[in-house]
Structure 1
Amino acid sequence: MDEFLHTDRTSGREAAVDLPEDSYLGYLFEPDDPKVARYRGMTYEEFGRDRVSAPFVQDLLAYWKGLYEEPFVGVTSDGVARRGLYPLRPAEADPAPVEAARAALDLLTAAERDRFTYPVDAPEWRAWSNPEFVVHRVGLRLEDLEPDVADAILAVVRASLSPAGWTLVSGAMSLNGYLGELVGLPTVMNDRSYWVSLFGTPSPDGPWGWQLFGHHVAVNFVSVGGRHVIAPVFIGGEPALSDGRPPLFAAREARALELAASLTEEQRADAVVYHSVLDPAMPADRLHPADERHLAGAFRDNRVIPYEGIRATGLTDVQRGLLRGIVEDFHLLLRQPHRDATMADYDAHVDETWFCWYGATDGSQPFYLRIQSPVVLAELDHHAGVWLTNRLPARFHVHTILRLPNGNDYGRAYLEQDTHA
């Protein structure tokens, strides 16, 4: 299939997919292995040109191009976007992100500003992706900027996120740098190999936002009437933990496993859709060599994703509390007042919320979970190695995705209601 994306990750197997007993450090390529050695010393530009020439990547990019060019509808469960789910209730404006954005703009040259800024309704919102090679060039690349300018732009990101959200995003970026060091490719993967851009004019009440994306991190922030939206969000890690660094998703996974383990036999029959992340009962098109089990990744803005698993009405109060805790953790990037408002949207549709699980529920195997309602779609998936040698999914390669279905990704449902837009 491809030197990075082998068929083992998409082939059904009757045997259980057991978790590796070794540390991720036992799955490093030898330094002279051609998979990594051939790229050593390349710039990200050279690496990207090499990768996009591969036949599999060419086919993938052509498919993504078609999806990107579709008119935006939003993720739905049945192909019909529901309206009226996101009434815009203006919030008290937070001056910190606006002030940080204006300060960053003041440091840019005229040429940099032209590349950095877009109209608030620009199609480039949908151009983000998460591979380490370049698909679309949107805005500026942090590693190409003077350090003080890159720092100022990252200050916009930090000012827009909750403290815990900034820790998660910056931690994932730092882990990308750590991965580059592990495989000896710091010019391909580092903590600043990310594209950043600004949409609209930073204002306390007018619509504006920013985008940050690159390997294992893609964050879209929008402020409309003072109300913040952070979606779509893609955050991952390979490895998702490292010596001296806290695991990125430990709390989320622990809560998820607590919920899965609490299921009764009857509940488990509904919630567990497949008994393994490589269950041979999966339809032939359910596994994708790049996305594995993920359904709502890059360029999937209009995907139809039917509900699966168990409805929240079939859970106990304690289980629904655990479910809500997982959803809130997916919204961790939002500052508390905005997170509270977004969770109120979730609460309003809790009876329409579904939870599904692939894999064992006792923590002995890698797993996939999805929580889906009219106003949230959250996925967590364990993947096979790309830069590590594990050919089957493992807990040390994690991808997570958050979307706001039925049209509020990129704050679109709010923008349609805003008189300033």
Structure 2
Amino acid sequence: MGLTRRKRPCAPRPRRFSRRSRLLRAALSDAGHGKATEIFALEAILGRIEKFSRNRDPDNYSWTVFGAPEDASGPWGFRVEGHHVSLNFAFAAGGEAVTPSFLGANPARVPSGPLEGQRVLGAQEDLARELVRGFAPAHRARAIIGTRSLGDIVTGPGRGDALRTPVGLAIGEMDAPHRSLAERLLDEFVRNLRTELAEAQRARIREAGLEAIHFAWAGPLEPGRAHYFRMHGPRLLIEHDNTQNDANHVHSVWRDPTRDMGLDILAEHYKSGHHGAP
């Protein structure tokens, strides 16, 4: 079953919002739920910035449920799709799939109004910048793969297999403080999940080899400049880009190449008509 998108912007209906919130909480932690709902709310802010509010609706998201959530013995899942949110979950007796996961934010930093300064996805950017700026020169040279941002997510529309070999600096080569910081950056994505789901993902990542995960950065190191970073390992691919709109528009993707639910989420994002060419 699914809920179709609204055709005209208006305030979300309380009962519908409550149902959707409960569905999100089946998979997301308080932190993840907060990020998702704040991204929904950014649509209204973006509408005011663009002076085209009819095209920006915080309620304009598609919610699809597969199977019967109330049947604990059977498989089920759900998907949330819309501007800057694509969340995909499948649950079965043998395990779960919690990726691909796409979160974006425009504006990445709210420029004015009651929420001035809000940065929904700011923590992941700050941790990554702190990590790369703290490396010794030799390690920083290996971690930086370009002096300019790559411009968007690399594994974007039609490029799902574009990244096969990790590049950058492996966590196993970092000293203890930087390794700890890299793990905090990784967990900024994983902790979006409900506790038991997050623990399962942490276990999978450790089993596959935490030390084999590579961190890479492209672009200047100063805040407010266009940049890109990546964490890439055997069962993990995280990409973050903040290039568009004068580096105030974030795209971020978390994928498990061995276990994704199976959807080219950035392609769907662009097909929704919210952008021009990638």
Give the structure-2-normalised TM-score: 0.82
Partner of 1:332: 191
Displacement, 1:373?
0.5
Partner of 1:293: 152
The DSSP-based 3-state class of the residue aligned with 1:410 is: coil
Partner of 1:194: 61
Partner of 2:270: none
- Indicate yes or no: 2:148 matched with 1:276: yes
Aligned equivalents of 2:157 and 2:63: distance in 1?
16
Partner of 2:36: 169
Partner of 1:231: 99
- Indicate yes or no: 2:23 matched with 1:156: yes
Aligned equivalents of 2:86 and 2:238: distance in 1?
14
Displacement, 1:142?
5.0
Partner of 1:209: 77
Residue deviations 1:344-363, cap 9 Å, x none?
Answer: 22223112211111023354
Structure 1 or 2: more strand by fraction: 2
Partner of 2:133: 261
Instruction: Count residues with an aligned counterpart.
Output: 254
- Indicate yes or no: 2:221 matched with 1:361: yes
From 61, 77, 89, the counterpart of 1:221: 89
Q: Percent identity?
A: 26
Q: 1:227–1:156: structure 2 CA closer, same or farther, 3 Å change rule?
A: same
- Aligned ranges 1:394-405 → 2 under 5 Å: 394=247, 396-405=248-257
Aligned equivalents of 2:44 and 2:224: distance in 1?
29
Partner of 1:85: none
Aligned equivalents of 1:142 and 1:154: distance in 2?
17
Contact in 2 for aligned 1:296/1:403 (Cα 8 Å): no
Aligned equivalents of 1:299 and 1:251: distance in 2?
29
Partner of 2:123: 251
Q: 1:317–1:335: structure 2 CA closer, same or farther, 3 Å change rule?
A: same
Partner of 2:5: 141
Aligned equivalents of 1:199 and 1:366: distance in 2?
39
Residue deviations 1:4-40, cap 9 Å, x none?
Answer: xxxxxxxxxxxxxxxxxxxxxxxxxxxxxxxxxxxxx
The DSSP-based 3-state class of the residue aligned with 1:236 is: strand
Q: 1:375–1:184: structure 2 CA closer, same or farther, 3 Å change rule?
A: same
Displacement, 1:223?
1.6
From 203, 224, 228, the counterpart of 1:344: 203
Q: 1:197–1:319: structure 2 CA closer, same or farther, 3 Å change rule?
A: same
Contact in 1 for aligned 2:213/2:231 (Cα 8 Å): yes
Displacement, 1:205?
4.0
Partner of 1:410: 261
Q: 1:299–1:187: structure 2 CA closer, same or farther, 3 Å change rule?
A: farther
The DSSP-based 3-state class of the residue aligned with 1:235 is: strand
Unaligned runs of at least 5 residues, structure 1: 1-112, 117-138, 278-286, 413-421
The DSSP-based 3-state class of the residue aligned with 2:54 is: coil
Counterpart of 1:173, as a letter, is: F
Displacement, 1:364?
6.4
Aligned equivalents of 1:143 and 1:220: distance in 2?
23
Partner of 1:108: none
Aligned equivalents of 2:233 and 2:83: distance in 1?
28
Runs of 4+ residues deviating >6 angstroms: none
Contact in 1 for aligned 2:237/2:256 (Cα 8 Å): yes
Q: 1:157–1:299: structure 2 CA closer, same or farther, 3 Å change rule?
A: farther
Contact in 1 for aligned 2:154/2:163 (Cα 8 Å): no
Residue deviations 1:124-153, cap 9 Å, x none?
Answer: xxxxxxxxxxxxxxx622567993345423
Q: 1:338–1:323: structure 2 CA closer, same or farther, 3 Å change rule?
A: same
Displacement, 1:275?
1.5
Aligned equivalents of 2:204 and 2:6: distance in 1?
35
Aligned equivalents of 1:275 and 1:193: distance in 2?
37
Aligned equivalents of 2:127 and 2:46: distance in 1?
27
Aligned equivalents of 1:255 and 1:225: distance in 2?
35
Displacement, 1:224?
2.2
Residue deviations 1:315-348, cap 9 Å, x none?
Answer: 1121111111111111232111221221122223
Unaligned runs of at least 5 residues, structure 2: 264-278
Aligned equivalents of 2:201 and 2:225: distance in 1?
32
Q: 1:411–1:294: structure 2 CA closer, same or farther, 3 Å change rule?
A: closer
Give the structure-1-normalised TM-score: 0.56
Aligned equivalents of 1:187 and 1:151: distance in 2?
24
- Indicate yes or no: 2:168 matched with 1:309: yes
Aligned equivalents of 1:237 and 1:193: distance in 2?
15
Displacement, 1:302?
4.6
Aligned equivalents of 1:384 and 1:411: distance in 2?
26
Question: With CA pairs under 8 Å and 6+ residues apart, which has the higher RCO, 1 or 2?
Answer: 1
Give me the CA root mean square deviation.
2.5
